[in-house]
Amino acid sequence: MTCPAAPPATIGPAGRARIVLRITAMAALLCLCLPLHCLIRPLPGPSPLPRIFLSGVARLAGVRLRVEGEPPSPGAFLLSNHVSWLDIPVLAGASGTAFVANDGLASVPLLRWLCKLHDTVFVARHDRASVARQIEQVRAAIGEAGVLAIFPEGTTSDGQSLLPFKSSLLSALDGLNGNIAIHPVLVDYGPGTQHNTTQAIAWVGNEPGLDNFLRILARPHPIETTLVFLPALSAESLANRKTIAHAARAAILAELERRRDQRVAL
């Protein structure tokens, strides 16, 4: 096992110790889950080990998760806001979802290997000629993984607002004809307080991804997180990728604003 990368200079000795302990624990969990996953993989149905591993990663990173709403049934597609790399283990741990990712990730061998272990579907965002093939990939993957998710903002936000949804990222949903339930999902890391501020979790600006990863692992306080599964979009909203993007963003934004108003009133 390689040594963890050097933490950002602003992280003190105690934070560095937490980073080492957490990465060591995550590596140990991977070593435990991977052989079992390989044994179970040939059996019918999705392997539970990726979900167990990612749920463990979230807990080891300090996440204390509360789930609101009904987790989706198998055969669903999730559209979620995107704040941090933590969104992935939080969503996967709570719902067992696999993810739709930009095919650019597939060019990095290690990332491709890790993603494929969790049934990630790689799609070409701008290859309109392959939309039909991508639709079939999504249908097949939902049948195999049970649930798929995508982050339609296309990048991370500050958690206090919501970026426009890029309907081009939803090209693989064109032609599904309402046969798949599509659920908006809000990942909420809570209000700004001394110990838990969304801005301290968010990966925004020019911060390198590795620095954000290490900064979160160095935190001494728990990360209070709420995952809100919203009702499936209505049939009228599923006409095409643009109507899906508009309806999903409106639902997530309304829930985000409702929760923000509640905090102001307290």
pLDDT computed for residue 60 by the predictor: 96
Count Cα atoms within 13 angstroms, Cβ side, for 196: 13
Extents of the domains making up the chain: 64-198+223-265
The long-range contacts involving 54-60, CB below 8 angstroms and separated by at least 24 positions, are 54/88, 54/89, 54/92, 54/93, 54/118, 55/89, 55/92, 55/93, 55/94, 56/26, 56/29, 56/93, 57/26, 57/29, 57/89, 57/93, 58/86, 58/89, 58/90, 58/93, 60/22, 60/25, 60/26, 60/29
pLDDT computed for residue 264 by the predictor: 72
Distance of CA 23 to the CA centre of its chain: 19
pLDDT computed for residue 130 by the predictor: 56
Stated pTM of the model: 0.85
Q: Are 87 and 193 in contact (CB under 8 A)?
A: no
pLDDT computed for residue 176 by the predictor: 62
pLDDT computed for residue 1 by the predictor: 42
pLDDT computed for residue 241 by the predictor: 87
Q: Which is nearest to 247 in space by CA: 77, 89, 127, 67? A: 77
**Tens of pLDDT, residue by residue, the chain (266 residues):** 444 555 565 888 999 999 999 999 999 999 999 899 889 888 877 788 888 999 999 999 999 999 999 888 888 889 999 998 899 999 999 998 888 876 655 556 666 667 777 677 776 655 555 556 666 676 666 666 678 898 999 888 888 889 999 887 787 777 666 668 899 999 998 765 445 566 678 888 788 888 889 999 999 989 999 999 999 999 888 888 899 999 999 999 999 999 888 877 76
pLDDT computed for residue 148 by the predictor: 87
Distance between CA atoms of residues 216 and 57, nearest Å? 12
Joined together, the tokens standing for residue 218 give 């160095």
Sheet holding 147-150, edge to edge: 63-68, 223-229, 181-188, 76-80, 147-150, 98-102, 121-123
pLDDT computed for residue 2 by the predictor: 45
pLDDT computed for residue 183 by the predictor: 95
